[in-house]
Structure 1
Amino acid sequence: MNIRKFVEKDALSVQVIYRLAFASFPWYEDLSNEEIEKRWKTQQAKIGFECLIADALNKVVGAIWWDKPTLDELRSERGKFIIQFVKQKIRMGDLLVWERELIVSPAYQGHGIGSQLRAAFIELVLNRCERRVLILTRMRDDNLSVIRIAEKFGFKRTGYRTPSSQKSGVFHEYWYFSKERGNQ
C-alpha cells in the first residue's frame, strides 16, 4: 500500500470510491455522478484543500481530504457551538484543520487502509504546524469502524451532536484532535 499526495488524474477514481462508499453502510445514499462531482468540486475549492490517496498497485483504493477553514467559514458551515469550542482550544498561530472525508473502497475495507490514511494525514499536518494543531471532523455515531480509527489516533468527542439528515434517530458527532508540535 502506498500513501501519496493526490494528483488531478486521481479525481475520477476518488469520485467513484466516494459514490461506492456512500452507497453502502451507514449512509445508503444513491448519489448521481453529477452530485458526486459537485460535492468533490465544492471540497476542492475550499481554502487549504489537500488530499492523500491510498494506492494499491497503481489503483486508487482510498482517500482522505481536508482543508483549513477560517473561523467565519466554520461558523457559516457548522454553527456557533463549534466556534466556541475552537476558541477554547486554539491560540494565535495554531493550525486549524477540518478533516472532510476518509473513504475506502468497500472491496478494500477492513484491511487497515483507513488507519494508514489517517496516520499519514496526521503526520503531514503535524509536520506543517508551528505550535499546535486542532483537527476537527464529524462522524455518524453508527459508523463504528471510522470511530474506532479516530479513537486509536487520539480523537476525542467535542460533546456537540447534530441529527443526521439521512436517518432518523442517528446523530453526527463532532470530534477533535489536538497536539503540540514536537509532542509526537
Structure 2
Amino acid sequence: MSLFKTLQNSPATISIFHNKKLPASGTLYRILEKADNKLNASTQQFQVDLMTDKMPTFDQFQFLVNSCTADEQGRSVLLDAYPFMSEKKSSKDRSKVTVQPPVGVQGTNWKTFTEGEYAIVHDAFEHLLAESKSDNPDHDPSEVFRAPLVVDWDQCLVAGDVTSLEHLLAKYQGSK
C-alpha cells in the first residue's frame, strides 16, 4: 500500500484546546467525547487530541489564521480565543465598547505574528497559567488565550461554542 493511500485512509484529527475550569470548555469536550464514541463506533473517522491548559503553537496559529478565517464564524471563534487580537475602545460615557478588527486586518487577511512575537505571547500564557495556580493570581491566562477552541485540521474549521461544534461535526454525521 502506498504512503498516499495510507494517509488517505487515516482518520482526521480534531484538537480541543481545553480548560477544565471553564463550564463552556467542559460542555464542548463532553459533546466531542460523545461524538467520538458514537460516530467512530464502526469506522475511525476522526481522533480527538485533548490539549488541556495549552494554547496553539506558532505553526498551528499560522494555520488557523491562514486556513480557518474564510467565513465570519471562523473569524469570530478566533477573536474569542485570542482576545489580544482585538482592540476595545470605550465611548466617552463608558456605556458602549466597540471592538475594532484585529490589528492588520484588511478584508480577510489577518496580521500574523513573527515566530519571536508569538513566542512572547506563548511564554506570557504559560507564565499566567502557572501564576493562576497560586492563591492570589494577578491576571487570568484567558487574557492571552481563551479556551475552548476546537480545531478540525482536515476541514479547516474551528468551533468555540455548541452551535459551531455541531457545524464542525456535521461532516462526520453524514458519512456514517
Larger RCO: 1 or 2 (CA < 8 Å, sep 6+): 2
State the TM-score, normalized to the length of structure 2. 0.27
Which is greater in Rg?
2
Higher-helix-fraction structure: 2
